[in-house]
Amino acid sequence: MDIDEVLTTTRAVRKRLDFERPVPREEILDCVRVAIQAPTGSNTQGWHFVAISDPERKRALADLYRKSYEPYAALPGHKWDEEDIRAQRRDSVRSSSRYLADRYHEAPWLVIPVLEGKPPQGAMQAGYWGSLLPAFWSFMLAARARGLGTAWTTLHLAYEEAAAEVLGIPYDRVTQGGMTPVAYYQGDGFQPASRLPAESVVHWESW
């Protein structure tokens, strides 16, 4: 795949994850090798990736995710006009998110990106997250290029300290930035998603 295809067809994969097919550890490591080429503030390279295949740990993390998912799923959600493209897949997204919540622990791997330190306050916060989240996205792009599906989730972070205890992460000095299942995906490839026109979100010279 060329770069444009990877960038425009890396989707949040939930229902099409193949929970039965093992993913070799080397595939995860290859994705991390790509990910750590991402930008990092002051060249600190303070990122780490916690990759979990142990069934008990996966189930414990999935339980934390579900504990946060239930109140999240009960929220009313955004209200868009029915003609708005953001409303057209609302039911599908809700169904697939429920599917993942129910089966999260079955993924061959769960991967959590973490960054040394704790998020600062104010303007410095953007720089802090900018040293982790591009690497996490690069990990997902590398996974896509290798036929692997991912889904960037953050709901377990409501119980970040409990997740840190499960994984032995030093919570007082290391921060988690999300979590993704990693599995080969089933079926054919993916198409670009329906998005608002670029012309509607670009502001030339000023807002």
Q: Quote the pTM value.
A: 0.93
pLDDT in tens, the chain (207 residues): 899 999 999 999 999 999 999 999 999 999 999 999 999 999 999 999 999 999 999 999 999 999 999 998 888 867 767 667 666 566 678 889 999 999 999 999 999 999 999 999 998 999 999 999 999 999 999 999 999 999 999 999 999 999 999 999 999 999 999 999 999 999 988 999 888 899 999 999 999
CATH class given for the domain over 3-75+89-191: alpha beta
Residue 84 CA: distances (Å) to CA of 8, 48, 89? 20, 39, 10
Please state, in angstroms and rounded to a whole number, the distance separating the CA atoms of residues 22 and 144.
16
The structural domains of the chain, with segments of one domain joined by +, span: 3-75+89-191
Residue 104 CA: distances (Å) to CA of 125, 173, 207? 30, 27, 41
